[in-house]
Structure 1
Amino acid sequence: MDQPTVGIIHPGSMGAAVAACAATNSSAVLWSTNGRSPVSRARAERFGLEPVPTLRELLDRCDVVISLCPPAAAEDLAREVAGHPYTGLYVEANAINPERAVRIAGLLGPEATFVDGGVVGSPPVKGKTPTLYLSGPAAATERVEALFVGTAVRTKTLGTDIGQASALKLAYASFQKTSRVLVALAIGLAREHGVDQELIDVASRRTDSYLAEPEYIAKTAARAWRWGPELEEAADALAAVGLPPQMLRAAASTLARWNDAKDDGELTLTDALNQLAQP
C-alpha cells in the first residue's frame, strides 16, 4: 500500500516532533506556513517538515491530518478544516475534554474519518518516548498506529468510542499537572517562613515525591500558559460526569499567574516563586 501524505496543522514543540516521527512511514509531512511565526517556521524546518503556503493546499494533498495545538484553538482549527471541506483521516490529538472531541467530530461531518487522540509524555526528542493514545473506528486507528511503527512515538488504541483517548489524557494531566502546582504552593509557603529546605529534606526521605523536586517549579512556570487551559478542559470533563471541578479550576487560576513566563528557559526557582507571590 502506498505511504500516506501527512499534514500537521500546528507545528509547536509537540506537534512538530510527532510529525517528524510520522515522516518515517509517510511519503511526506506537510505544514501550512500561512500566518505562522518565524519561530514556527524555524522549528518546522529543523524537523524536516515540508512547507505549503495555505491550509487548503495541505488538506488537498494530505491523507492524514494531525491537529496538535493549544486546547482553546482546537475547535476553530477544526471549523477551518471543515470549511474546505476535508475528506481524509483527522486525528484530534489535543488536550480537550471528551465532549469537545465528540463535538469536533460532528463539525467535520461524515465525509472525514475522525480519530480521537491524546499524547501522554514529553515531545519525542532526546530519547523521550511519549505514547499517543487513540480511540475511534478500528480501521482508522490502525492507520494511525502504522504511521508510528519503529519511531519514538508509541501508540495504543483504547477502544472505538470517540472521547476515550481524550478522557485518559485529561485524567492523567489532572493529577500530574495539579501535583506540580501543589508543589509550588507548598514550597512557596515554606519559603515565606524560612523552612523551605526543611520541607524538601522531609520530602526527599519519601519515595517519588514531587516535593523533592523544587527545581521543576521553574519548568512548571514556563509551561503554565499551556497547562492552565489543559486543566480547565479537565475541570469541564469532571463537571460533565458529576465530579467536583473546583480543585482543577483553582490550579488553572494559579498557573495563570505565570502566563508572562511563557517558554522562559532561563527562569530560576526564585523568579518563579516571586512571580507566584506577586501577580
Structure 2
Amino acid sequence: MTYTVGLLHPGSMGSAFGAQLRARGHNVLWCPDGRSDATRRRAARAGLEPAALPELVSRSDVLLSLCPPAAAEEIAAQAAELGVVGTGTIYVEANAVAPPRVQCVTDRLAPMPVIDAAVVGSPPVGGKTPTLYLSGPSKQADRIVELFAGTDVRTHVLGDRIGQASALKLAYSSYQKVSRVLAAVAYGAAESYGVADELLVIAAKRTRSYLVETDYIPKTASRAWRWGPELEDVATLLADAGLPDSLMHAAAATLARWDDNRDEPLDIAEALEALRGERDLDDPS
C-alpha cells in the first residue's frame, strides 16, 4: 500500500525519514512556508513535495511530527484547527517530549488516533538504522509498522498505552545526554589541573555502561551517605576551575534521599521507592 505522509517539519532527522519513505514509493509532503533555506535544501535533496499546510493536512494518510520539542503542541494545534480531526488520518507524535505533553496532543486531536513515537539512534543515512518506538492504538501502530517496512527505520511496538514511547526516549536521553555533559565537565576539571591524560587512562578501564548494570542502584543507595559530601567537594573543584557546579549540587541532593540507608541493604525496588520518597525507612514493616 502506498501512503501519503505529511512531514512536520523536515530537519535533519525528518528529512532522512522522508527520504526513506520516498525510496519505498510513498508520497511525502512538507510545508515550505516560513522555513529556512537550509530546510528547503534538505527537503529538495530528499525528494519531498512542497504543499501549503491545509493541503498537506487534507491529503495525508499519516501526519508525522518531527520538530523541535518546544513546538510539538503548537504543531498539533495547527493540525486540529485545519479540521483533520475525524478524517481517518493517523497523527504520529515523534518528538522528544514528556508523556503528559503527548497526552495533551492526544486530547487536542481526539477523536483522531494518535501514536506516541520516539526515535532512538542517528538519522537513517549512510547505512544507519534508527529505531522508531511506537505506543498507542494497536491498529494504527500496525499501519505505521507497515509504512516503514523495507526502510532503514526499524519499528518496535511497545504497547497500546500513550506515553510508553516518549517515556522510553526521555529515560534513555536522561542518561545519554547528561552523561556527556558530565564527561565534558569532568574532563574540564582534570584539564585545569594538568591531569586530563591520566583521567582518560582511568576512564578507559571501564567500557560498559552503568545503565545496563542495575545492581548498582542499591549499591549506590548504600554509599549515598558518603558520596553526597564527596560530590559537594567536586562542586568546589568545578567552581574553582570556572566550570558549572550545579549538576554536582543536584546529584548530592538526590543522593541525600538515600542518606538513611547506610546500614540497611535494599533491593532495586526498595532503592527506587526511597529515591521517590515513597518508602518510610523508620517503619519496621
Relative to the length of structure 1, the TM-score reads 0.72
Q: Distance in 2 between the 1:16 and 1:147 partners? A: 16
For structure 1, the 5+ residue unaligned runs are 211-245, 252-279
Cα drift, residue 148 of structure 1: 1.0
8 Å contact 2:24–2:151 — kept in the other structure?
no
- The partner residue of 1:74 within 55, 59, 72 is 72
**Residue-by-residue CA offset, 1:179-222 (whole Å, 9 max, x unaligned):** 10110010010011111111011111222479xxxxxxxxxxxx
Task: Name which one, 1 or 2, has greater alpha-carbon Rg.
Answer: 2
Residue number in structure 2 paired with 1:6: 5
Residue number in structure 2 paired with 1:103: 104
8 Å contact 2:118–2:134 — kept in the other structure?
yes
Q: Distance in 2 between the 1:78 and 1:154 partners? A: 25
Residue number in structure 2 paired with 1:151: 151
Q: Which moved more, 1:81-90 or 1:165-174?
A: 81-90
For structure 2, the 5+ residue unaligned runs are 211-245, 252-285
Residue number in structure 2 paired with 1:59: 57
Fraction of identical pairs, as percent: 54
Residue number in structure 2 paired with 1:44: 43
Greater relative CO (CA pairs within 8 A, separation 6+): 1
**Residue-by-residue CA offset, 1:17-39 (whole Å, 9 max, x unaligned):** 11222224453101011111000
Q: Distance in 1 between the 2:152 and 2:103 partners? A: 28
The Cα RMSD (Å) is 2.1
Q: Distance in 2 between the 1:125 and 1:171 partners? A: 25
Residue number in structure 2 paired with 1:180: 180
Q: Distance in 1 between the 2:15 and 2:66 partners? A: 9
Aligned residues: 213
- SS in structure 2 opposite 1:152? coil
Relative to the length of structure 2, the TM-score reads 0.71
- SS in structure 2 opposite 1:21? helix
8 Å contact 1:26–1:147 — kept in the other structure?
no
**Residue-by-residue CA offset, 1:157-188 (whole Å, 9 max, x unaligned):** 00001111001111111111111011001001
State the AA in 2 paired with 1:88: T
Q: Distance in 2 between the 1:26 and 1:96 partners? A: 30
State the AA in 1 paired with 2:16: A
- SS in structure 2 opposite 1:188? helix
Q: Which runs of 4+ in 1 moved over 4 A?
A: 246-251
8 Å contact 2:10–2:39 — kept in the other structure?
yes
